[in-house]
Structure 1
Amino acid sequence: MNEKLKVQSHHLERSAYLYIRQSSMRQVMENVESTKRQYDLRGRAIGLGWRDDQIIVIDSDQGESGASASWREGFQHLVSDVGMGRAGIVMGLEVSRLARNNADWHRLLEICALADTLILDEDGVYDPANFNDRLLLGLKGTMSEAELHVIKARLRGGILNKVRRGEYRCPLPTGFIYDEIGNVVLDPDAQIREMISHFFETFSRVGSATQTVKTFTREGLLFPSRLRNGKQVVFQQLTTSTAMRMLHNPRYAGVYAYGQRLYRRTVDGKKQLRKRDPKEWLACIPDAHPGYISWEQFQHNLKVLEANGQGYQAVRASPPREGAALLQGRVICGRCGSHMSARYAARRGQVDTWYVCHRAYASRGEPHCQSIAGWPVDEAVGELIAAEMTPAAVELALEIRKEIEARHDEADKLRLRAVERAQIDADLAQRRFMLVDPNNRLVADTLEREWNEKLRVLADVRKERERALCEDRVTLDDAIRDRLIAMTADFKTVWCDRALPNRERKRLLAYLVEDVTLLKFPAEGETRIHIRFKGGKTETLTTQNPKSSAQQVKTRPEVVELVDKLLDDHICAEIADILNDRGIRPGGSARRAKADAKFTDLRVIYLVKQYGLRSRYDRLRERGMLTKAEACAKLGITESTLVRWAKYGIVKRHAYNGYIGLYEPPGPHVPAKQCSRWNQLAHRADIVRQLNSSKCTDPKERAVV
């Protein structure tokens, strides 16, 4: 009777909202009685005066937790309609069905009070605008939230209790299974076990997750991966994410670990993952079950991965890369003690290496501590390493050869396991086909196709194994061993061989050198190199700093001196040809000069003006040479006659700018008779030249001449 008094006519004019929710899909499937009880609340609404068509059922949040409203679309829709005044009453079987969070629950109460909307549960009808009803609803919401906390605490306590004993069963990574009594054991499949062991051995050898993936790809090995159902295992290409996940999983070290990550809900309802420090793990039990590596090896692998990272704060020796910087990851600044990074710059058609200490610039915005050219340092260190190597390294090379052969054998063993698995699948498909009734063609044809497919897979696996054997199997006979000894005896030839990748040089250097400290002295124009070897031995070298860009393109002094000497007897165009014929190129040192650059007359003229050399004109004038006007006045002839005389060698002419030149002075007294004789000779030479050009054949005309 009291319920009907609270329901007014303006409530009945609006809709009645029935909110239905179960916390998980398992409850939706199994707790069917709770769902029926929630749907039966329609009868309560009809009994209070609402028509059937006025009742709106919201059941889109089935299987969603009520701990928050951020991921419940149905609840958000309900709150929105209540706030817009569309709801006369909100129905839920219990307060916990509507919300298990006090913030969401009190927000709904506030909106219902403002919109004059009633709330109905299994116990009765409440008016949120009434203080007593609102107090009771608030108490129910608090108890609902506390109930959720108690339920979680009980479940969590039971789980943690089993976790501390190492008995809580978690999904196992590939390579482990639970036996009949629940203990963790290695996978009985020999191919899976051997493949995982080979993975960790390969990582220990190459020292990089990416290089491990490349090695598996190069060897044509497929890696096992367990599907989400936890039962079926498939073989596929190894990926970097899989490799990183295995290297960070302590299960492979035989350690039972729980609580490595912390999950939290964000405001928008998404899960936020945060990794915990190993000291904060909820459980870490060493030697809890068999493993593929030891705990010490697992810790070492994590340190290698951390050293391979690109973080600025990590003091690291980077894994060898293809770059030209020989001392990559091993250079220490002689001023601040920080590790220097390698930088590359493309200049004048080649790539230069620089070692830069940028820690002060990156952290405090200060100038770079040091920036040192890398190629002189690398050459000096490379020569030292080549000198340190002796023929005794042959034994090391032979040990490496044995290791390579053992590696090839291990890879072939894994390929053989793949062949055996393919053979088992083919035999199983054959038996299935043999057991089927031949008259049942629909089933027989399908099984026959499966059998043929397994046979094709078997043939491909065998062919791949044969191809890999041909590529991997290398036998060192006596002749190859002698060549190896000769190469080691002259290690410098091998070290300087361009076919040798830079990665291999850096790997060899990592076995010999601990670190290299560089200290630059700009005033002295040199760099001190302090090398610390693995055994504790130290060595100090000194290299000259390369010239600046302006100095590198500056013409060498010996070339300027040669040009000054050639100006005595040659013009600029002739000097350019002489320099090019001698193989001299413009610019700085031979290392920096471009092979295709050549001297021109303009380049020579620029050198003469830039370095203040005496011009050829001044040199000829100092030797007493005359201009055209002076020579004509001296000889008493015209300019055209002077040109003719110079042409036929009567007067000697010295060029100083192309075809413009100066003339040697005649003797102190040239008689007029001698000048007349020179004119006659020049005139006769002109006639001979004209006859030769016209090809005259008349002997009388030639006799006249």
Structure 2
Amino acid sequence: MNDSLKVQPRHLERGAYLYVRQSSMRQVIENVESTKRQYALRGRASALGWRDDQIIVIDSDQGESGASASWREGFQRLVTDVGMGRAGIVMGLEVSRLARNNADWHRLLEICALADTLILDEDGVYDPATFNDRLLLGLKGTMSEAELHVLKARLRGGILNKVRRGEYRCPLPTGLAYDDVGNVVLEPDAQIRDTIAYFFETFSRVGSACQTVKVFRKEGIRFPSRIRNQKTTIFQPLTLSTAIRALNNPRYAGAYVYGRRHYRRAADGKKLLRKREQGDWLACIPNAHPGYITWEQFQQNLKILEANGRGFDVARASPPREGSALLQGRAVCERCGRHLGARYVARRGRLEAWYVCGQAHTSRGEPSCQSIAGQPIDTAIGELIATEMTPAAVELALEIRKEIEARHEEADRLRLCAVERAQFEADLAQRRFMLVDPNNRLVADTLEREWNDKLHALAKAREERERERQKDRAAIDDAIRARLVAMTTDFRTLWRDPSLPNRERKRLLAYIVEDVTLVKLPAEGTTRIHVRFKGGKTETLTTQNPKSSAQQVKTDPKVVELVDTLLDNHIYPEIADILNDRGIRPGGSARSGQADARFTALRVAYLANEYGLRSRYDRLRARGLLTRQEAASSLGICESTLIRWVEHGLVARHAYNAHAYLYQAPGPNPPLKQSSRWNRLTDRAVAIRQTSQAKCPHPMTGDAV
């Protein structure tokens, strides 16, 4: 059918949409003829009857791929206008310009058919509402999509063929570069090489990416970073993400790798990334080019990173931390074989370490195997390490001294490289300023300002180097030298030094001990410790478990026995004074934080009652002592007279508390005071009492007493 016959007046009343697209900006810049051919379709629209003001050009998708419409705003606008009935015809040089995806293409055809919109390409005009035209357009769309896949397959096949030979050039990380013939070599810049080498050496020493970052920050060393799509390298503070990215990059191990990640497009057009396992990489050729570490070291670094990021899992030795648990990551449960976790509990203003086997409880809700107090275990292990290390302390001290000095020298050499780089840049800026025409002030002022900035940067680099050198000198001062000397004579003193960080103790322990197996024996009140050293030697220790809370507040049995003895001759206040004078403190006073607590009468009374001791009253009664009424009755006197007799020593009494007494029973001849006057007074008092009793009748019987 003639193209002009398909164009009806109803089509001419609406706009003519021209869609212009090329797949990449390189094509836009270099393939100008294709762009001209697409814009030339405006003439076709004018020839078919559309006015110039009705022709709408959509070219906002220049440089975008036609594989999907998700990220093409121009195509989405085109579909929207067609669906709203604004377009009478849609023009494109060919189907591939509009879409290379069948889903997008058929969606456009369906909307054009519903909206009665024509489609024009270089071959002619089509009406999607008719079967033949739609069949032809669908076939063209399928061929366009197939063409895209064929092109990709050809390009991908060529790339993979070069990848298998290790010849495909990929972007290299900072520290590696391509030479003139395309071979991978180490960065020619010595500062970059030395900094990266120092980075891997530091990680192998501290065993943690985070600690490596802290070392770089502490020593004032900056890490090189190459600006993307440029050959410029800048030095900036090392970050944790940069450290982990460098440790996971096999190119630093001299391996050629390709296909470590898989990219795909999501429904919304975003690029999704998925990491592949090492066995699924498209290419992995170890020792393909020079590297900073060996392939074996790279594999070991990956294992360390995996162990550091692992929580409850199989056996792991995590990097040493600041906590007091000496066996962190090395304690093994003898009952189930799992590694014990270190837990810290705040009690009485300080942290107590515990080794807990709680993985079964956390993951499956089962009871925990055991929970062991860490302080006795750590003390025993510390004594064992001190004993084992003392013979080798001299050699160890020398090695530590050499390592510290070598580390400081390496750090200072890297800082010196930074100073030299700043000096070179300052000299270069000076030469540029000297070569400029002084009359050209616009350029001269800019170059002079740049020269001043470089001089400031040079001065700052020198100041930083000098400041860090002073810190390094202070790091090995007289105090540390004295500690190193003490290490050669008594390693135990150094191990117990409170200023020695727990991290360093654990780091030293990691070089000596492989693991420590613990089992708690509640029946015996002990913990059995099996130590396995690196060389295969084993050692078994036994420690006493700390007392429970109830046991810590319980009074010593010897104190209870002493109180029982003192109750024979003393009352509670006197016993409290005797115990305090002897320096004995109540049970649990140290645990409760009251180290200066003292015994009181109430504490002694509670102690006697709690342990079922015979009271002093019962003890005195068992010895035959009488109450006041009983003693007065046996003597035939009133109680007031008894008290006066006690005051004058005629009757003996014994206190059974602070204000009550029991009286000693009188014998057949009660002892009287030898004063004749006292005898007369006593006889007279007895006679008067007897006379009064004889005259007074009994209140019940009326008889004289």
TM-aligned CA deviation for residue 643 of structure 1 = 9.6
The residue that corresponds to 2:694 in the other structure is none
Q: 2-side partners of 1:49 and 1:635: how far apart?
A: 151
Q: 2-side partners of 1:149 and 1:422: how far apart?
A: 52
1:28–1:645: structure 2 CA closer, same or farther, 3 Å change rule?
farther
1:251–1:577: structure 2 CA closer, same or farther, 3 Å change rule?
farther
**SS, match of residue 454 in structure 2:** helix
1:285–1:44: structure 2 CA closer, same or farther, 3 Å change rule?
same
The residue that corresponds to 2:302 in the other structure is 302
Judge conservation of contact 1:552–1:592 (CA < 8 Å) in 2: no
1:642–1:500: structure 2 CA closer, same or farther, 3 Å change rule?
farther
TM-aligned CA deviation for residue 95 of structure 1 = 1.9
Which amino acid in structure 1 is aligned with residue 274 of structure 2? R
Give the 5 Å matches for 1:91-240.
91-240=91-240
Judge conservation of contact 2:527–2:542 (CA < 8 Å) in 1: yes
TM-aligned CA deviation for residue 573 of structure 1 = 6.2
1:575–1:41: structure 2 CA closer, same or farther, 3 Å change rule?
farther
Which amino acid in structure 2 is aligned with residue 536 of structure 1? G
TM-aligned CA deviation for residue 243 of structure 1 = 1.8
Give the 5 Å matches for 1:330-345.
330-345=330-345
**SS, match of residue 290 in structure 1:** coil
Unaligned stretches of 5+ residues in structure 2: 683-705
TM-aligned CA deviation for residue 145 of structure 1 = 0.9
1:40–1:654: structure 2 CA closer, same or farther, 3 Å change rule?
farther
Judge conservation of contact 2:650–2:672 (CA < 8 Å) in 1: no
The residue that corresponds to 1:75 in the other structure is 75
Judge conservation of contact 1:370–1:520 (CA < 8 Å) in 2: yes
Give the 5 Å matches for 1:516-531.
516-531=516-531
The residue that corresponds to 1:487 in the other structure is 487
The residue that corresponds to 1:661 in the other structure is 660
TM-aligned CA deviation for residue 587 of structure 1 = 4.6
The residue that corresponds to 2:698 in the other structure is none
Q: 2-side partners of 1:675 and 1:252: how far apart?
A: 118
Higher deviation after alignment, 160-169 or 80-89? 80-89
1:285–1:618: structure 2 CA closer, same or farther, 3 Å change rule?
same
**SS, match of residue 366 in structure 1:** coil
The residue that corresponds to 1:285 in the other structure is 285
1:594–1:389: structure 2 CA closer, same or farther, 3 Å change rule?
farther
The residue that corresponds to 1:692 in the other structure is none
Higher deviation after alignment, 472-481 or 498-507? 472-481
Q: 2-side partners of 1:37 and 1:656: how far apart?
A: 124
Judge conservation of contact 1:426–1:455 (CA < 8 Å) in 2: yes
**SS, match of residue 263 in structure 1:** strand
TM-aligned CA deviation for residue 51 of structure 1 = 5.3
TM-aligned CA deviation for residue 146 of structure 1 = 0.7
Q: 2-side partners of 1:237 and 1:477: how far apart?
A: 28
1:636–1:306: structure 2 CA closer, same or farther, 3 Å change rule?
same
Higher deviation after alignment, 330-339 or 437-446? 437-446
1:449–1:606: structure 2 CA closer, same or farther, 3 Å change rule?
farther
The residue that corresponds to 1:696 in the other structure is none
Judge conservation of contact 2:397–2:487 (CA < 8 Å) in 1: no
For these two proteins, the number of residue pairs brought into alignment is 676
1:49–1:314: structure 2 CA closer, same or farther, 3 Å change rule?
farther
1:432-477 Cα offsets, whole Å, 9 max, x none, are: 3333344444444443333333333323322333333333248999
Give the 5 Å matches for 1:542-553.
542-553=542-553
Judge conservation of contact 2:552–2:591 (CA < 8 Å) in 1: no
TM-score, normalised relative to structure 2: 0.84
Q: 1-side partners of 2:276 and 2:466: how far apart?
A: 47
Judge conservation of contact 2:529–2:542 (CA < 8 Å) in 1: yes
Judge conservation of contact 1:556–1:589 (CA < 8 Å) in 2: no
1:208-240 Cα offsets, whole Å, 9 max, x none, are: 222222222222222222111331111221222
Which amino acid in structure 2 is aligned with residue 397 of structure 1? A
Q: 1-side partners of 2:78 and 2:626: how far apart?
A: 113
Q: 1-side partners of 2:7 and 2:597: how far apart?
A: 100
Q: 1-side partners of 2:378 and 2:562: how far apart?
A: 34
**SS, match of residue 541 in structure 1:** strand
The residue that corresponds to 2:455 in the other structure is 455
Give the 5 Å matches for 1:392-407.
392-407=392-407
Unaligned stretches of 5+ residues in structure 1: 679-705
Which amino acid in structure 1 is aligned with residue 22 of structure 2? Q
Give the 5 Å matches for 1:438-587.
438-473=438-473, 484=484, 486-565=486-565, 584-587=584-587
The answer on 1:271 being equivalent to 2:271 is: yes
Which amino acid in structure 1 is aligned with residue 100 of structure 2? R
1:392–1:118: structure 2 CA closer, same or farther, 3 Å change rule?
same
Q: 2-side partners of 1:128 and 1:509: how far apart?
A: 79
The answer on 1:388 being equivalent to 2:383 is: no
TM-aligned CA deviation for residue 143 of structure 1 = 0.9
Q: 1-side partners of 2:319 and 2:35: how far apart?
A: 61
Judge conservation of contact 1:625–1:662 (CA < 8 Å) in 2: no
Q: 2-side partners of 1:546 and 1:480: how far apart?
A: 35
Q: 2-side partners of 1:677 and 1:98: how far apart?
A: 142
1:390-414 Cα offsets, whole Å, 9 max, x none, are: 3332022212212322222222222
1:419–1:477: structure 2 CA closer, same or farther, 3 Å change rule?
closer
Judge conservation of contact 1:88–1:117 (CA < 8 Å) in 2: yes
1:259-279 Cα offsets, whole Å, 9 max, x none, are: 121112222222222222223
Which amino acid in structure 2 is aligned with residue 385 of structure 1? I
Which amino acid in structure 1 is aligned with residue 204 of structure 2? S
Judge conservation of contact 1:225–1:235 (CA < 8 Å) in 2: yes
1:326–1:58: structure 2 CA closer, same or farther, 3 Å change rule?
same
Give the 5 Å matches for 1:671-686.
none
The residue that corresponds to 1:691 in the other structure is none
Judge conservation of contact 1:391–1:489 (CA < 8 Å) in 2: no
1:476–1:20: structure 2 CA closer, same or farther, 3 Å change rule?
closer
1:664–1:415: structure 2 CA closer, same or farther, 3 Å change rule?
same
**SS, match of residue 470 in structure 1:** helix
The residue that corresponds to 2:323 in the other structure is 323
TM-aligned CA deviation for residue 495 of structure 1 = 1.7
TM-score, normalised relative to structure 1: 0.84
Q: 2-side partners of 1:55 and 1:479: how far apart?
A: 87
The residue that corresponds to 2:693 in the other structure is none
Q: 2-side partners of 1:174 and 1:361: how far apart?
A: 47
Q: 2-side partners of 1:239 and 1:97: how far apart?
A: 45
Which amino acid in structure 2 is aligned with residue 318 of structure 1? S
1:589–1:368: structure 2 CA closer, same or farther, 3 Å change rule?
farther
**SS, match of residue 511 in structure 2:** helix
Judge conservation of contact 2:253–2:293 (CA < 8 Å) in 1: yes
1:428–1:609: structure 2 CA closer, same or farther, 3 Å change rule?
same
TM-aligned CA deviation for residue 513 of structure 1 = 1.1
TM-aligned CA deviation for residue 287 of structure 1 = 3.1
Higher deviation after alignment, 275-284 or 545-554? 545-554
Q: 2-side partners of 1:90 and 1:218: how far apart?
A: 65
Which amino acid in structure 2 is aligned with residue 661 of structure 1? A
Judge conservation of contact 1:645–1:651 (CA < 8 Å) in 2: yes
The residue that corresponds to 1:65 in the other structure is 65
Judge conservation of contact 2:174–2:225 (CA < 8 Å) in 1: yes
Which amino acid in structure 1 is aligned with residue 464 of structure 2? E
Judge conservation of contact 2:308–2:318 (CA < 8 Å) in 1: yes
1:155–1:624: structure 2 CA closer, same or farther, 3 Å change rule?
same
Judge conservation of contact 1:620–1:662 (CA < 8 Å) in 2: no
TM-aligned CA deviation for residue 311 of structure 1 = 4.5
